[in-house]
Copies of this chain bind each other. A is one copy, B any other.
Amino acid sequence: MSAERGVVLTWRGLHLADGALRRLLDQRLTSEADCSLLEHDVLTWLAAAPRRRRQMFDLANLVGVTRGGLTRIADRLVQRNWIERDRPETNRREVHAVLTAEGQRAVKRARAVYTRVLAQSLGTHLTAAERDELARITTKLLTALNDGDPLCPPPPTPRTARSPAS
């Protein structure tokens, strides 16, 4: 197969697989845990953070949306009483999102759906070796794209970030 056709087919596979899995996750999270995939990601980062709290700015980078976008997501989560906003005394410009008790229950439910869906899809349809290869190659690609390409600026490196795997 021509080199050009090769990269196109690779992109197609990558893109379509991501789309299918993303739709699946989003549907299941919506119907079984009342939250979107992005909301799940935010909640998960919060649940894994030191005092179950994080700055808006950091959260935005972690889940890959703009600050404005995160403000809207946070608005929705506040309305559901899953997080609260808190301006720390030390620097009243910052806003921290803090997981509430109710939020902790919500993220537990969401996380269960999330891991179940992944186990039923990636877990059953691919071999362990294939999963590892897929993870390895995509991670390699991601790294190369992020710090190689000026047109795709690396998501302003999250300061703290111990990956809970959003």
Q: Is A101 interfacial (CB-CB < 8 Å)?
A: no
Indicate with 1 or 0, residue by residue over A97-140, a CB within 8 angstroms of chain B CB atoms. 00000000000000000010011011101101011111111111
A121: chain B residues at CB < 8 Å are 141, 144-145, 149
- Copies of this chain in the oligomer: 2
User: Which of A18, A24, A125 counts the most chain B CB atoms within 10 A?
Assistant: A18
A161: chain B residues at CB < 8 Å are none
Secondary structure class of chain A's binding surface, majority of residues: helix
Give 7 CB contacts A-B under 8 Å: A3-B123, A9-B165, A11-B21, A13-B138, A14-B134, A15-B18, A16-B64
**A13 near B151: Cβ-Cβ < 8 Å:** no
- A interface with B by C-beta (< 8 Å): 3-24, 27-28, 64, 115, 118-119, 121-123, 125-126, 128, 130-142, 144-146, 148-149, 151-152, 163, 165-166
**A7 near B118: Cβ-Cβ < 8 Å:** yes
Knowing A8-B118, A13-B139, the reply to whether A20 touches B146 (Cβ < 8 A) is: yes
A18 CA to B6 CA in the complex, in Å? 17
**A6 near B131: Cβ-Cβ < 8 Å:** yes
13 A-B pairs besides A10-B134, A11-B122, A20-B142 with CB distance below 8 A are A5-B165, A7-B119, A7-B123, A14-B138, A16-B142, A17-B142, A19-B64, A20-B145, A24-B151, A121-B145, A126-B140, A130-B140, A134-B134
